[in-house]
Structures are given as C-alpha cells and as structure tokens.
Homo-oligomer: A and B are copies of this chain.
Amino acid sequence: MINTLLLPELREMLASGDEQGLREFASAIHPARAAEFMEGLSPQEAWDVLQASDSAKQAEVFGFLPDSMKVEILETVNPAETSPLVADLPADDRVDLISDVHPDVVEEMLPLLPAAERRETLRLMEFPEGTAGSVMTTEVARLGENLTVHQALEEIARQSEDLETVYYNYIVDEDNRLRGLISARQLVTHFGKPDTRISELMQRDIVTVQATDDQETVAAKVASFDFIAIPVVDEQQHLLGIITHDDIIDVLREEATEDAHMAAAVDPLDDSYLETHWFTLAWKRGIWIGILFLAALLTALALQNYEAEFQKVSWLVLFIPLVISSGGNSGSQSATLVITAMTHGDVKLSDWWRVIRRELAMGLCLGSSLAAAGYICAVILLKGFAPEDASGQPIFEVPTFAEVLVIPITLVMVVICGTLCGGTLPMVFRRLGLDPALMSNPFVAGIIDIAGIVIYMNVAVIMLDSLS
C-alpha cells in the first residue's frame, strides 16, 4: 500500500515543477485515494496536479474530488482549459456538476464541449432532479443481435473507453428498441465457445425503469434484483441509458439521509451539514420549527380550558410533561416502524388491519406497564415528598390513593392513542398519495401532545368528580 505520500510532499512537487513525480503520484495509487490527498490543496494547485497526468486519469481523479472542490476548480480555472476534462466525465456526473456551477461559467463552458457531449448534456439536464433520467448515463454498450461471442467481445473492447460499464451490455434493434441483455459474465463464461451467437445467450426478460420514475423506486428495484446496472427506457422501449450500481448506492445514501432529516422535521439538505449555507439551513429548519410551534400553541389553548381544574387540584400540573412525552415517544416508535417497513415494501396499505391490531395490543401492553410504574412513582412523589410551605403545611391537598389513579388511567389511554396514531397516520398519508415520511416523529408527537392533554384533563375531571 503506497499511501505514505503526504500533502507537503505534493506541494513540494508542485513548487519544483516535478511533473514526473506528479504523474507517478496519480498513476500509482487509486484515483479515489489520490483525490483524498488533494483535498487540502487550493483549486489552482489541484488543477496543476491534475494537469500532470494523461486525460483519462485526470477525469478519473477529478471524478472523486469532493463536489465543492470540483465546482471551485471549474469556477477558478479558465473554461478553455477545463472543458476537455469536463467532456471526458461520464455524462451523468457531468450534468450533476454543471447544475452546481455558476450559470455564467456554464454558458462559457457549453460551447467549448464537443457537439455530441454538448447535446447529450443539454438533453440530460432536462430530467428533473430525483428522477431516473437525472441519474442515468448514456454511455452504454449497444450490440446488434447477430454478433457472436467473439465479435461482441471485440466490439465491447473497441467501445470500452467510452463506456461507463462493460459488465451489462444491451442488445437493441435498428430502432434502438431494447431487445435483450448480455452480461460480461456470460461472454467470459463462453470464452471457450467464441462462435456462439449472443442471441442464444441473451436474457430477454429485462427489468427496466422509465426515465420519469422516482430514483428511490429505481434503487429499490436494483436492490431487490441484485443488479449491477438497470436500463432506462422510454414508453416505446427505446434504450435511453443505464443507471449503474455506484449511482444506486449514492441514491440509497441520499434517500436515507433525507428520510432521517424529515423524521426530525428538517427540510432535506442538498449539501452536507457544514457545506450548507447558514441561511439555507436556518430556513429549512425554521419553516418546520415554526409549523410545529403553531401546533404546540394549541396545547396552550387546550390547557386554558382546564385552568380552573389546575387551580383546584394543583398536583395535576406535575404530570403534564410525563403524560405527553409518554404518548409522543410511543407514537414516534410506531410511526418510524411503519414508515421504514413501508419504504422496504414489508408493510402495504392492505395490511392496515394487521397494523392496527398490532399497535392496539402494543399500546395496551406498553401503556399498562407504564401505568403500573407511573402509579407507584406518583404515589411516592405525591404522598412521600409533597412540598410544604414555611409552616410545614403541604402546599397542595395530598390526593388519596384512588385519586392518584388518574395518572395510570391517563397513561394507558395516551399510549394507546400514541401507538394507534403513529401506526396509522403514515398509512393515511400514503393512501392520500403523500410521502409517509412527512408524518414525521415531531408531527406525530405534536398531535399526540394535544390529544394527551385533552385525555388527561377529561380523565381527571370525571375521576375526581366521581370520587368527591
């Protein structure tokens, strides 16, 4: 392993114009590792390092640099110098990059690209972010049906420099309609029988996606079929491009992060936490915090209706946070379990009755356990540690054992309310055609906060009235 080279040495090679050393640096180690070493350099320095290598290597190393650095390089260095590199990038990466660069630079850059790359870039840029079209690449091997294994290998070898992958190769008719798939594995396996026709070997039942499909759906398909790549077609089955395993992994990571952010009521970020502009972050957090705040105001409104109760039975105040957090926590659990299960296809809308039964039973079980613990703790707290005023008198009337039953009864009801709301609301959202992840934990918790207060006060009023 050759990763003992350090940033200072790289800088020294740059300063002394040691082109030979720089070329060796880029060719000896994996491009991803070379890119990692270069992260500490300025955009101009990084560009000088890249310049020392041949163009294929340049594009590879450049591809692994952090997005922000790529953008900086393109915005710093003269587009006339960088355009050959941009032209060498895989089409999907090129489009991703261009969408982040300042429009003025893009305007200067586009006319400098070769006509084919320019047309392709403009075409791919039309697909909206988050669709299959926006993550596909067009650089895929297209083979005619009549080739033999030997001819196909020759053809792929010839095209290989322009291909994103040689592992899945597609057979198309004269109209570019998808007819079949032959993997490099099948070709290599039949290496000893070079005259076999690929039409005899090719798979005809091909799983495809449409360019307008959601990237999350595409990733789920690739994951369940264990593909290295999946072809993207239009409605007439014309082959538009492919999405490769590395893009799928990026999509999965991106979607997992988005879901985590939504579950915490943050509008998903486009960049990483530290790279996101502070104002953008404030907006993406503030908008949801604001909505949740309005929901929480309703709890104040609800409590106001019971003000008289609190004045009469002031120990009820002590358990407000306990009651609402118990409901909120059990609701978040249920919501998250159902949302993740729906994302993986383990829970379908038709399972609604099973979910309700499970969550009802779960609410009953968890609620009863908390109720038992809550009763004991409330008795100890209220009867054993009742606060006293200066004269030694308790500052509130110490409740009887029967009166403290308000707490456990409320807990059972609130936890059941939590599990049922948490379990069903994401399914309701899915049914309405909305993203179930919108029914995020803070929202479930917010709804249950209000319900919890109403339940608590009604239980208290009914219980205490009937006991007095």
Q: Which residues of A contact B (CB under 8 A)?
A: 1-3, 28-30, 32-33, 64, 153-154, 156-157, 160-161, 165-167, 184-185, 187-192, 203-207, 222-226, 228, 245-246, 248-250, 252-253, 256-257, 259-261, 263-266, 269, 272-275, 278, 281-282, 285-286, 288-290, 292-293, 296-297, 299-301, 303-305, 307-308, 310-311, 314-315, 317-322, 324-326, 328-330, 332-333, 335-341, 344, 346-347, 351, 354-355, 358, 361-362, 365-366, 369-370, 373-374, 377-378, 381, 385, 387, 389, 395-396, 441-442, 445-446, 449, 453
A203-B30, A252-B256, A366-B282 are contacts. A321–B453 as well, Cβ < 8 Å? yes
A170 to chain B, nearest CB (A): 15
- With CB as the reference atom, state the residue of chain B lying closest to A169: B188
| A322 to B366 Cα, complex, angstroms | 26
Across-interface contacts of A396 in B (CB, < 8 A): 307, 311
| A449 to B261 Cα, complex, angstroms | 21
How many copies of the polypeptide does the oligomer hold?
2
Across-interface contacts of A296 in B (CB, < 8 A): 321-322, 325-326
Residue pair B286, A226 in contact (C-beta under 8 Å): no
Residue pair A228, B225 in contact (C-beta under 8 Å): no
| A385 to B446 Cα, complex, angstroms | 23
A252-B252, A257-B344, A274-B346 are contacts. A292–B325 as well, Cβ < 8 Å? yes
- Within the complex, which residue of B1, B273, B321 is in contact with A321, where a contact is CB–CB below 8 Å? B321
Across-interface contacts of A365 in B (CB, < 8 A): 282, 286
A334 to chain B, nearest CB (A): 9
Across-interface contacts of A290 in B (CB, < 8 A): 369-370, 373
User: Which of A3, A206, A289, A293 has the most chain B CB atoms closer than 10 A to its own CB?
Assistant: A293
A136 to chain B, nearest CB (A): 16
| A329 to B260 Cα, complex, angstroms | 14
A24 to chain B, nearest CB (A): 12
Q: 5 pairs across A/B with beta carbons < 8 Å? A: A30-B206, A293-B374, A317-B317, A321-B321, A325-B446
Across-interface contacts of A266 in B (CB, < 8 A): 333, 336-337
| A320 to B192 Cα, complex, angstroms | 78
Residue pair B324, A362 in contact (C-beta under 8 Å): no
A188-B184, A265-B329, A296-B326 are contacts. A317–B321 as well, Cβ < 8 Å? no
Across-interface contacts of A263 in B (CB, < 8 A): 260, 263-264, 336, 441
| A203 to B60 Cα, complex, angstroms | 14
A307-B317, A321-B320, A385-B304 are contacts. A289–B188 as well, Cβ < 8 Å? no
- Within the complex, which residue of B249, B301, B328, B381 is in contact with A222, where a contact is CB–CB below 8 Å? B249
Across-interface contacts of A253 in B (CB, < 8 A): 223, 252, 344
| A64 to B339 Cα, complex, angstroms | 24
Residue pair A321, B449 in contact (C-beta under 8 Å): yes
Residue pair A381, B304 in contact (C-beta under 8 Å): yes
- Within the complex, which residue of B30, B250, B332 is in contact with A441, where a contact is CB–CB below 8 Å? B332
| A438 to B264 Cα, complex, angstroms | 15
A192-B154, A261-B340, A317-B317 are contacts. A308–B273 as well, Cβ < 8 Å? no
Across-interface contacts of A282 in B (CB, < 8 A): 362, 365-366
Residue pair A265, B317 in contact (C-beta under 8 Å): no
Across-interface contacts of A304 in B (CB, < 8 A): 318, 381, 385, 387
Across-interface contacts of A160 in B (CB, < 8 A): 185, 188-189
